[in-house]
A and B are shown apart, each in its own frame.
Chain A
Amino acid sequence: LSTTDDDGDGSDGSDGSDGSDGDDGGDGMDGDDGSDGGDSTEAFQIGMVDSQTGSLSAFGERNQRGVDLALSRVNEVGIDGRELDIVVEDSESENQGGIAAAQKLVNQDGVPFLIGAVGSGVSLAIYESVVEGTDVVQLSQNSTGLNLTEFPGLLRMSPSGRSQSLALSNIIADDGYDEVAVTYVNNDYGQSLTDAFVDAYDGEVVYNTPHDQDQQSYSGVISEMNGSGADAWLFVTYQAEFATMVNEVFSSGYDAQFYGADSVSGDNVLENTPEGSIDGMNIVVPSAPVEEENYQSFASDFEAEYDRQPTSWAAYAYDCVINAALAIQAADEFAGAALQDTVRRVSGPEGETVTSFAAASEILADGGGPDDVDYQGVSGPIDFNEDGDPVGFLQVLEVQDHEYEGIDFVEG
Chain B
Amino acid sequence: MGAMSEGALAKQDPVLAVDDLQKSFGGLAATDHATFGVERGTITGLIGPNGAGKSTLFNLISGFYEPDGGTVEVNGTDVTGMEPYEVAEHGLIRTFQTPRKLEGMTVREAMLVGPREQPGESFHRLFTSPGTVAESESANLAEAERILAEFEIDHLATQPATDISGGQMKLVELARAMLAEPEVLLLDEPVAGVNPTLAKKLKSQIRRLNEQGTTFLLIEHDMEFVMDLADPIVVLDQGHVLTEGTPEGVRNDDRVIDAYLGGGA
Classify A-B as touching or not with yes or no (CB < 8 A): no
